[in-house]
Amino acid sequence: MSADGAVRRADWTIDQDWAAYTPEDHATWVTLYERQAALLPGRACDPFLKGLEALDLHRSGIPDFARINAELARLTGWRVVAVPGLVPDAVFFEHLANRRFPAGRFIRRPDQLDYLQEPDVFHDLFGHVPMLTDPVFADYMQAYGEGGLRALGLGRLTNLARLYWYTVEFGLMQGAEGLRIYGAGIVSSHAESVFALDSPSPNRLAFDLQRVMRTPYRIDDFQQVYFVIPSLEALRQATLQDFGGLYASLAKASDIPIAAILPEDRVLTRGAQTHVSTQ
């Protein structure tokens, strides 16, 4: 029995029980959705905005996963499954490896609009699921799940969790007119959707797989560093390589302090152009 009384199955899934949402729950969804939908054009990447449109996530309240899944499965074979909250790593990776995205069923309270610790249905369904309509990102997420299961076996989970954090949760992408957001943790947060692109304080570095895997992260504040991919295809290619050699070199490499800029880092500005760091 999970916290909110749901009966969970062996794979940690529960019924979404859409009928149990209250009018206040649906109103919270609409408030969050409309605030982000007004802010994100020009900030979120095209695949995200197209996915949001394709899945029609507004519909005046929390979407029924069954309705979303009909379209999502048609587009990329992915489905959303309801879970009570964070699930054990092995369970999480197993779902991703089978094109199932675990989404929290609960929604935050009206007084928690701007921050909550645990991913709720708005973070998961609005933040993560639109990108799963993009075939390249859909492949990446499945490859990530398979890699996660391997990493667990090799004791490299910390490194792999960083890859998830700096791409799936807080990733930026180079767009023709400047940087664009694809990370769910940013795109589902009003304040961070502004901070990640506009603030001069965080570092924005060109994505490099080993660099990301050596960089710790904090979960309780805006990011101090964002990594920028040139394209989703480049991200997918990065995960198709054999990680064995990478893990061997990571075992000898130290972590990189979260706010550090290394001489070999390529520092990006908000525009499309880049300049090599002068440090």
Is residue 87 at the binding interface for ligand HBI, with CB under 6 A as the rule?
yes
The one among 11, 15, 25, 89 contacting ligand HBI by CB under 6 A? 89
Q: Which stretch binds ligand HBI (CB under 6 A): 79-87, 134-142, 221-229, 269-277?
A: 79-87
The one among 47, 51, 63, 102 contacting ligand HBI by CB under 6 A? 102
CA triple 134-139-140, angle to 5 deg = 100
Nearer to Fe ion, 21 or 165 (CB): 165
Angle between helices 135-154 and 232-240 (to 10 degrees): 30
Q: Which stretch binds ligand HBI (CB under 6 A): 15-23, 81-89, 109-117, 193-201?
A: 81-89
Catalytic residue among 95, 123, 189, 193: 123
Return the DSSP state at 44: B
Q: In angstroms, what is the minimal distance from the CB of 85 to ligand HBI?
A: 6
Is residue 128 annotated as part of the catalytic site, yes or no?
A: yes
Nearer to ligand HBI, 122 or 175 (CB): 122
Between residue 32 and residue 91, which ones bind Fe ion under the rule CB under 5 A?
none
**Cβ neighbour number for residue 159 with a 10 Å cutoff:** 23
Q: Distance between CA 178 and CA 270 in Å, rounded? A: 6
Nearer to ligand HBI, 162 or 180 (CB): 162
Catalytic residue among 94, 95, 188, 193: 188
Both tokens of 209, joined, read 């797989």
Contact by Cβ (8 Å): 135, 56: no
Q: Which residues neighbour 203 within 8 Å (Cβ) at sequence distance 6 or greater?
A: 224, 225, 226, 259, 261, 265, 267
Is residue 192 annotated as part of the catalytic site, yes or no?
A: no
User: Is residue 116 packed enough to be buried (19+ CB in 10 Å), middle (13-18) or exposed (0-12)?
Assistant: middle
Q: In angstroms, what is the minimal distance from the CB of 94 to ligand HBI?
A: 11
Q: Distance between CA 103 and CA 16 in Å, rounded? A: 9
Sign of dihedral through CA atoms 227, 72, 160, 126?
positive
Q: In angstroms, what is the minimal distance from the CB of 145 to ligand HBI?
A: 10
Q: Which stretch binds ligand HBI (CB under 6 A): 25-33, 36-44, 65-73, 80-88?
A: 80-88
Q: Which helix (H) or strand (E) holds 127?
A: none
Nearer to ligand HBI, 91 or 113 (CB): 91
Catalytic residues: 123, 128, 169, 188
